[in-house]
Amino acid sequence: MTTRRMAFFITACILAVAASYSPTQDHESNSLVTRGEYLTLHVAMCVQCHTPRDADGNLLSQSLLMGAPMPVQSPYPEQPWAFEAPKLAGLPAGFSEDEFVHLLMAG
């Protein structure tokens, strides 16, 4: 292949990749992540029970949604209460990503 053809080929590849890029897609994806973060942290407040805390009661940001002991006791002593809020983030314990995908797809 001549140098001129190679340069044309490389330029065509770069233009094809650039044309397929859509800032709107990134913006939409980013806004969905932002919305999910807002819902999780501020509306449903999932982090309040599903994130471990330090000795001062502060949420451990490096362990968001990784499961934690319940921060409150049951308001009804005669009724059973969960001792720990389950992990909501990441893969279930003992599963690789491929195994988890297989579980979801095939059961």
Question: Does 72 fall in a domain?
Answer: yes
Question: Does 45 fall in a domain?
Answer: yes
What is the DSSP secondary structure assignment for residue 39, as one 8-state letter? I
Tell whether pTM > 0.85. Answer: no
From CA 88, how far away is CA 39, in angstroms rounded? Answer: 14
Residue pLDDT, tens place only, 44-89: 998 999 999 999 999 999 999 999 998 888 888 888 788 888 888 8
Number of domains in the chain: 1
Question: Does 6 fall in a domain?
Answer: no
From CA 42, how far away is CA 44, in angstroms rounded? Answer: 6
Contacts of 63 (CB under 8 A, 6+ apart): 51, 52
Asked whether the beta carbons of 50 and 88 are under 8 A apart, the reply is yes
Question: Does 13 fall in a domain?
Answer: no
pLDDT of amino acid 105 = 83
pLDDT of amino acid 12 = 54
Domain hosting residue 54, numbered range: 23-106
